[in-house]
Amino acid sequence: MSLFKWVFQDWAVNDGYRDSQLILAWFRLAQRAHSGGGLVGRLFCVFYRLFTSLFLAIEIPAEATVGPRLRIYHPHSIVLNPGVVIGADCILRQNVTVGNVVRRDGTEKGVASVGDGVEFGAGCVVVGAIHVGDHARIAALALVLDDVPPRGVMMGNPARLVRVDNPASANGMVTPASATSRTDSSNG
């Protein structure tokens, strides 16, 4: 897909959020520079990382795999690990972290991967070698350490699966997650 098309798609879903649109265009440019390789591309990525971290106070690395039509509401203090994989049509909010866990002995647990259409609430942290299924919703301030099923809703610290949304239900809302092993947990 051309750079123009990436940017156009991001801009369309972030209509009205000029800050998010500009940041996403900046990020897609860095992504393109990173994938293109070469000295100029690498130098640009160094500049991108420093500028984005120091002046925009976010870390969305050029190395990260981020699908099209990302929405960002309030683009502040967002931190993504360079190894993260995020699908299409996701939503990030302020203070979201998707990253790694480093154990006391220095070894790493790995980085989360995220499916399509996942919504991250403000201030949530999603870490470790886990997978967040398609269309899951991560509540504001949740700390997610375990896999999330598709359309799962995670809340609390540590986050628990409180339900699995059912797209086929009449009100578009939920099926109680009582069939899962974690539903007796509190909301955190």
Ligand X SMILES: CC(C)(COP(=O)(O)OP(=O)(O)OC[C@H]1O[C@@H](n2cnc3c(N)ncnc32)[C@H](O)[C@@H]1OP(=O)(O)O)[C@@H](O)C(=O)NCCC(=O)NCCS
Report residue 99: phi and psi, to 5°. -155, -150
Q: Which residue has the tokens 């059912």?
A: 166
Position 135 contacts ligand X (CB under 6 A):
no
Nearest Cα to Cα of residue 160 among 175, 148, 173: 148
Report residue 79: phi and psi, to 5°. -130, 120
Residue 94, classified by CB atoms within 10 Å of its CB into exposed (0-12), middle (13-18) or buried (19+), is middle
Position 117 contacts ligand X (CB under 6 A):
no
Min CB(9)–ligand X separation in Å: 23
Build a one-symbol-per-residue string for 5-44: x at contacts with ligand X by CB under 6 A, - elsewhere.
Answer: ----------------------------------------
Report residue 146: phi and psi, to 5°. -125, 160
Of the residues 136, 139, 144, 177, which one makes contact with ligand X according to CB under 6 A: 139
Nearer to ligand X, 34 or 160 (CB): 160
Position 121 contacts ligand X (CB under 6 A):
yes
DSSP-assigned states of every residue in 82-136: TT-EE-SS-EEETT-EEE--B-TTS-B----EE-TT-EE-TT-EEESS-EEPTT-
Of the residues 25, 114, 155, 177, which one makes contact with ligand X according to CB under 6 A: 155
Q: Write out the binding residues for ligand X, residues 38-67 only, by CB under 6 A.
A: none
Stretch of residues binding ligand X (CB under 6 A), selected from 44-52, 80-88, 107-115, 138-146: 138-146
Position 71 contacts ligand X (CB under 6 A):
no
Position 149 contacts ligand X (CB under 6 A):
no
Q: Give the binding site for ligand X (CB under 6 A).
A: 74, 93, 121-122, 137, 139-141, 153, 155-156, 187-188
